[in-house]
Structure 1
Amino acid sequence: MDIKHLKTFSVINRTGSFSYAAKILGYAQPTVTMHIQLLEEEFQVKLFERLGHKIKITQQGEQLLYYAEKILAFSEEAVSVFMEREVGMGKITIGANQSFSVVRLPFILKSFIAKHPSTDVSLKFGSIQEIYEQIRENVVDVAFFLTKEVQYTDLIVEKLFEESIVVVIAPDHPFCRYSALGIQDFQTENLIITQENCTYRAVIDELLQEAGVQPHSLIEINNIQAIKQLVMSGLGITVLPRVSVEYELTHNLLTEVPWKGPPLRVFTQIAYHKDKWLSPTILSFLEETRMNYL
């Protein structure tokens, strides 16, 4: 029984796809198929059934999966423990969406690396759904979400901080004469905002849908710096975390207009898998993160 074969078996079960598992693991698809065939020959069972273009784990596969997950968890734990003892350095892979990487992550990393200079830090970015999948597949150890409260049955999610969300415009925009803006005011404006399934976008979409408001134009960009540049050019308005526009507000490059609509509740949250073994390095990172917020 080979650890690599068990890992392949586990990833196929989670993704429901041989081809997707091959992509995640960095194997050619025939290699993934061979891993499963070798396991099936060793245990004399059928692990997956093909139903059209879909696959489903068998009852015997479910039994093996129980032990495979435990073996993989202990294997990962052993590698982490001995690496940190013998090499004197830890390793952590952090997932985050683009907004968080610009807004909060640099401060956390700077503080953590100053205390743990020998730690090997890897960063992976993506949408909320992509980050969630990365946690489930153990591609990342911990991940940050900057969005409304999220809940997943297989993750432990800690709410760290409620972010202040503001509506900002160019200093010469006509809305500068308004004492406050509501969601109805978006009806005639170009709204420049992050792409769907990213960060706090869902909060804005819900407000627009509930109010029956359709902006004059919706410009979607998954880059905060680009959004700010377009707003400063006078192309439209945007909604961003205050911390991401502090410099522009202070230097009169952007102007905040008070919000009179429903509360825009967005939180910085950190998450990891409920079955994840937390190495000393991961525990130290979690503690450092909490110290930066609590």
Structure 2
Amino acid sequence: MVEIRQLKTFINIVKLGNFSHAAQFSGYTQSTVTTHIQLLEKELNTLLFERFGQQITLTEDGQRLYDYAEKIIKLEDDAKNALNKSNIPSGPLIIGMPESLCVFRMTPILKEYSSLYPDVELKIKYGTSNDFRILLRKKVMDLALFLEPSINDSDLISTALWPESIVLVTSPAHELAKLDELDPKMLNDQTLVSVESDSNYRILLEKTLQRENIHLKTILEVGQIQAIKQLIMQNTGITLLPLISVANELESGELVLLPWKGPEIEVTAFLVHHKDRWVNHAMKAFIKLLQERLVNIRS
């Protein structure tokens, strides 16, 4: 018997491109994802994927199933929405957000939401705005928080929440820490420890440096903010991060704020969902709670 969860796993593999990404996104082990597909293939008596090393492609039967699977999952959602007369949020809710917002701004609201709506299966995914755009468009993510200067995507509905201050910081022992003013030219041959290359605030800084024909000596890409801060405290270089994520270290003196005199690096936190995504009770409840707690989150 074909199960809905097997079809959902199958759809996620197709949309995300491989078994490991589907497992990570769904919160399953890779062996569970593999088992789902094996059971599906056994039940349907066919192969769904061709495997070429690490690459997978849909077989002809796999493509046929995909078309049906999407319709089945949509019908399941429609049936739940039609039959659920209760306004009590329930079911899965997948939200993407940058690590800085999740850890340093959103933790209280996520805790409150989980307490208010225990029947919602809340999943938080870290990433960048570009990651979230892909997942929102593939309909495997419900909501996302972006950090961007502005959002102009015609297929995305966005609500501006608050401006997020982005700052350059370093170790008190760094040569730049003693300056009264930091002109962009002074970053020539410096080492930048940074988040992913498609981070919007990193892109804004790099554009400023390119205009001034300034070349950084080294760029170290580190996936986690805590690891970046540890490297900077060891005087590895400078970093660019949201102020909220380094506030404690600045107060303790473990990091110092660099007196940046270049163009201001401005981003805003946006709440985003796809225009074709039906806003269910779980999404509505999160949006409502977020709007109600904006004052607390900004502080």
Please confirm whether the aligned pair reaches a TM-score higher than 0.5, indicating the same fold.
yes
Deviations 1:153-203 (A, max 9, x none): 322122211101111111232323212213222113211111212353222
Relative to structure 1, is the Cα distance of residues 110 and 14 closer, same or farther in structure 2, using a 3 angstrom cutoff?
closer
How far apart are residue 113 of structure 1 and its match? 2.8
RMSD after superposition: 4.5
Relative to structure 1, is the Cα distance of residues 22 and 289 closer, same or farther in structure 2, using a 3 angstrom cutoff?
closer
Matched residue, 2:48? none
Deviations 1:96-151 (A, max 9, x none): 2333332323132123234x141434334343333222222332211122233334
Relative to structure 1, is the Cα distance of residues 195 and 6 closer, same or farther in structure 2, using a 3 angstrom cutoff?
closer
After the TM superposition, which residues 246-265 of structure 1 pair with which residues of structure 2 at under 5 Å, given as runs? Answer: 246-265=247-266
Matched residue, 2:213? 212
* Greater shift in the superposed pair: 196-205 or 240-249: 196-205
Q: Give unmatched runs, 5+ long, in structure 1.
A: 36-52, 56-60
TM-score (norm. length: structure 2): 0.72
After the TM superposition, which residues 222-237 of structure 1 pair with which residues of structure 2 at under 5 Å, given as runs? Answer: 222-237=223-238
Q: 3-state SS of the aligned residue for 2:140?
A: coil
Q: Is residue 179 of structure 1 aligned with residue 177 of structure 2? A: no
Q: 3-state SS of the aligned residue for 1:245?
A: helix
After the TM superposition, which residues 154-165 of structure 1 pair with which residues of structure 2 at under 5 Å, given as runs? Answer: 154-165=155-166
CA distance in 1, matches of 2:257, 2:23: 48
CA distance in 2, matches of 1:238, 1:22: 32
Deviations 1:234-279 (A, max 9, x none): 1111111111111111111111122211120112122112111111
Q: Give unmatched runs, 5+ long, in structure 2.
A: 41-54, 58-62
Contact 2:143 2:273 in 1 (8 A): yes
Relative to structure 1, is the Cα distance of residues 203 and 107 closer, same or farther in structure 2, using a 3 angstrom cutoff?
farther
CA distance in 1, matches of 2:102, 2:217: 30
Matched residue, 1:123? 123
Q: Is residue 240 of structure 1 aligned with residue 241 of structure 2? A: yes
Structure 1 stretches of 4+ moved >6 Å: 2-17, 20-29, 67-71
Relative to structure 1, is the Cα distance of residues 102 and 12 closer, same or farther in structure 2, using a 3 angstrom cutoff?
closer
Contact 1:97 1:126 in 2 (8 A): yes
Aligned amino acid, residue 118 of structure 1: P
After the TM superposition, which residues 129-168 of structure 1 pair with which residues of structure 2 at under 5 Å, given as runs? Answer: 129-168=130-169
Deviations 1:5-62 (A, max 9, x none): 9989987997799xx9999899999x99xx9xxxxxxxxxxxxxxxxx9x9xxxxx9x
CA distance in 1, matches of 2:25, 2:110: 26
Contact 2:94 2:141 in 1 (8 A): yes
How far apart are residue 292 of structure 1 and its match? 2.8
Relative to structure 1, is the Cα distance of residues 96 and 180 closer, same or farther in structure 2, using a 3 angstrom cutoff?
same
Aligned amino acid, residue 173 of structure 1: H
TM-score (norm. length: structure 1): 0.73
CA distance in 2, matches of 1:144, 1:222: 18
Matched residue, 1:48? none
CA distance in 2, matches of 1:272, 1:286: 11
Relative to structure 1, is the Cα distance of residues 21 and 248 closer, same or farther in structure 2, using a 3 angstrom cutoff?
closer
How far apart are residue 75 of structure 1 and its match? 2.9
Relative to structure 1, is the Cα distance of residues 121 and 204 closer, same or farther in structure 2, using a 3 angstrom cutoff?
farther
Aligned amino acid, residue 289 of structure 1: L
Relative to structure 1, is the Cα distance of residues 72 and 152 closer, same or farther in structure 2, using a 3 angstrom cutoff?
farther
Aligned amino acid, residue 120 of structure 2: D
Matched residue, 1:194? 195
Relative to structure 1, is the Cα distance of residues 246 and 10 closer, same or farther in structure 2, using a 3 angstrom cutoff?
closer
What count of residue pairs does the alignment treat as equivalent? 288
Relative to structure 1, is the Cα distance of residues 205 and 83 closer, same or farther in structure 2, using a 3 angstrom cutoff?
farther
Q: 3-state SS of the aligned residue for 1:153?
A: coil
Aligned amino acid, residue 210 of structure 1: R
Contact 1:163 1:265 in 2 (8 A): yes
Contact 2:114 2:122 in 1 (8 A): no
How far apart are residue 225 of structure 1 and its match? 0.7
CA distance in 2, matches of 1:73, 1:285: 22
Aligned amino acid, residue 231 of structure 1: I
Relative to structure 1, is the Cα distance of residues 213 and 110 closer, same or farther in structure 2, using a 3 angstrom cutoff?
same
After the TM superposition, which residues 66-81 of structure 1 pair with which residues of structure 2 at under 5 Å, given as runs? Answer: 72-79=73-80
Aligned amino acid, residue 288 of structure 1: L
CA distance in 2, matches of 1:28, 1:122: 20
Q: Is residue 113 of structure 1 aligned with residue 114 of structure 2? A: yes
